[in-house]
Amino acid sequence: MSLTSIRNLAFSLAFGLGCGLVFCAFALSGGHAPWPIPLPLGVLILGFSAFLFAWGRRVKAMREKDQPEKKDQRRTRRRISPLQAARVAVLAQACSRCGAWLAGFFGLCAALFWRTGETSYVREQVLAAVLAAVSSAVLTWTGWVVERWCVVDSDDDGPGPQAKPTAA
């Protein structure tokens, strides 16, 4: 599994922008009100980001292999298996790409909803879309960072080191 590049994230963002444009073209056609976006959606995405970050920290701690210079470590972390670490790597890659798509989608929806009117309903939908776009950008960053924490430098079963690192 190769690492997600900035180029892939840019393609996901552009695809999300395109999907948002198509969606808003149909949703706002004929002067209709914006499609409702739940306000807690941004909080839900941020919660998922925190969950991924916590699991990524466990993988990072596993990779550091219990460094002996940490003498003041009062609490012990439960070990994470290599299979769970691989699952975290896959989840991180999916989150980085889906987060970029969602950031583009909700960002464009926020911009287009903002241009449709000045009622309190429209302002609520713009706020919800902006919160969802920002939290999706946080999810993208979190997934990208956690994916780098899950990198395996070489293959133990292969003849020698790999040409480039891959995610666990």
- Taking the C-alpha atoms of residue 21 and residue 38, their distance in angstroms, rounded to an integer, is 19
Cα–Cα distance measured from residue 124 to residue 163, given in angstroms and rounded to the nearest whole number: 50
In whole angstroms, what is the distance from residue 32 CA to residue 40 CA? 23
Q: Which two tokens stand for residue 34?
A: 């914006």
* Total-model pTM: 0.82
- Give Cβ neighbours of residue 107 (< 8 Å, ≥ 6 apart): 16, 17, 20, 129, 130, 133
Q: What does the pLDDT read at residue 69?
A: 58
**Which residue, chain included where needed, has tokens 């922008």?**
17
| C-alpha span between 159 and 49 (Å, rounded) | 37
Please tell me the distance from the alpha carbon of residue 54 to that of residue 146, in angstroms, as a whole number: 9
pLDDT tens series, the chain, 168 aa: 788 889 999 999 999 999 999 998 888 888 777 888 998 999 999 999 999 999 999 888 887 764 555 555 555 556 677 888 889 999 999 999 999 999 999 999 999 988 877 788 889 999 999 999 999 999 999 999 999 988 765 555 555 445 555 565
